[in-house]
Amino acid sequence: MARKAGSADLPLHGGHVPRWLADRMTRLGAVMSEAIVHHYGRDELLRRLANPFWFQSFGAVMGMDWHSSGITTSVIGALKRGLAPLSHELGIHICGGRGKHSRETPQELVSIGDRVGIDGAALAKASRLVAKVDSAAVQDGFDLYLHGFIVTDDGKWTVVQQGMNGGRKQARRYHWLSEGLTSFVDDPHTAIEGAGQGEIINLADRRAEPSRLAQIDILTTLGPDKIAREFSAHETGREPQLMAAVAQPLLPHLVMPAHHDVRSSDVIARRLHGNLAAAADRGP
């Protein structure tokens, strides 16, 4: 049903995108997406949006700051505005967004389902589960505030959502793609990537299944009063037992610097010539 496709750590910026830039991003994002769909198909656009490196590059080409956390908000917003008039032609729909718009995602999906003939209720459930995994099952210090759901007429989807850590002035973007695994709680991420900041709770790890089952069993058999007493009795002097590390394949993970200017250290020299050659050969 779903698998995590990658993540990105970005400096957290405030402020607003000026109207003139938002309008240009809307027009450019729409025509670029339309070209990708016509040349490579809708599934390919979903795959690209689910790649944290491609998504960041996409936002930079559209005109947003190359390293900013604002790329996530501005790209989702621009695509939602720009692709809405093309949804019947392309069969792609952008739902959700930042703040209150993220909470409207389930109803948007139900409405789309009724309109195009797919299971909108199942899509709404997937939206809630993806958000719940990254906010509750994975407790890594980032609070979600943006949820973008991109769905096609045949029910395939990509989710791009972002959380913030105000203390670290950092944002983390999470990417999902609706192909691969059959469970949201048994390794949907394949891996979780990020800067080391101590222990985190990851109940979406397959190794955590005994813990998930035990939590439910304890709650139903002991009740809250006895659980509280047991916790108090064992709180002092207990060392946490860590599960043995298991090698897992790494997902794409992008880390952007805090400085605004592009420095020589930000450029990968071995790729520069190839990029310039491709640009010269293919044109804009």
- pLDDT at 273 (0 to 100): 74
Segments making up each domain of the chain, as ranges:
3-194+253-282, 202-236
Query: For position 239, what pLDDT does the model report?
Result: 47
Predicted pLDDT at 2: 52
Q: What is the pLDDT of residue 105?
A: 97
Count the alpha carbons within 13 Å of 193 in the hemisphere toward its beta carbon.
20
Q: Are 46 and 11 in contact (CB under 8 A)?
A: no
> How far, in Å, CA of 53 to CA of 45, rounded?
14
pLDDT attached to residue 181: 56
Over residues 236-257, the pLDDT tens digits come to 545 444 333 344 456 788 888 8
pLDDT attached to residue 214: 84
β-sheet bridge partners, residue 202: 138
Q: For residue 96, is it left (φ>0), alpha (ψ between -120 and 50) or beta?
A: left
Coil, helix or strand for 275? helix
Q: What is the pLDDT of residue 248?
A: 46
Whole-number pLDDT of residue 14: 80
Write out the chain's pLDDT in tens, 284 residues: 456 678 888 888 888 899 999 999 999 999 999 999 999 999 999 999 999 999 999 999 999 988 888 999 999 999 999 999 999 999 999 999 999 999 999 999 999 999 999 999 999 999 999 999 988 887 888 999 999 999 999 999 999 999 999 888 899 898 999 877 567 777 665 445 456 666 777 788 788 888 888 877 877 787 777 776 666 666 554 544 433 334 445 678 888 888 877 787 887 777 777 777 777 777 65
Buried b (16+ CB within 10 A) or exposed e, 202-239: bebbeebeeeeeeeeeeeeeeeeeeeeeeeeeeeeeee
pLDDT at position 157 is 94
The token pair at 142 is: 């980032």
Q: Which amino acid is at 124?
A: A
pLDDT tens per residue, range 62-100: 999 888 889 999 999 999 999 999 999 999 999 999 999
Question: What is the C-alpha separation between 176 and 216, in angstroms, rounded?
Answer: 27
Residue 5's pLDDT is 77
Give residue 216's pLDDT: 78
Q: What is the pLDDT of residue 193?
A: 47
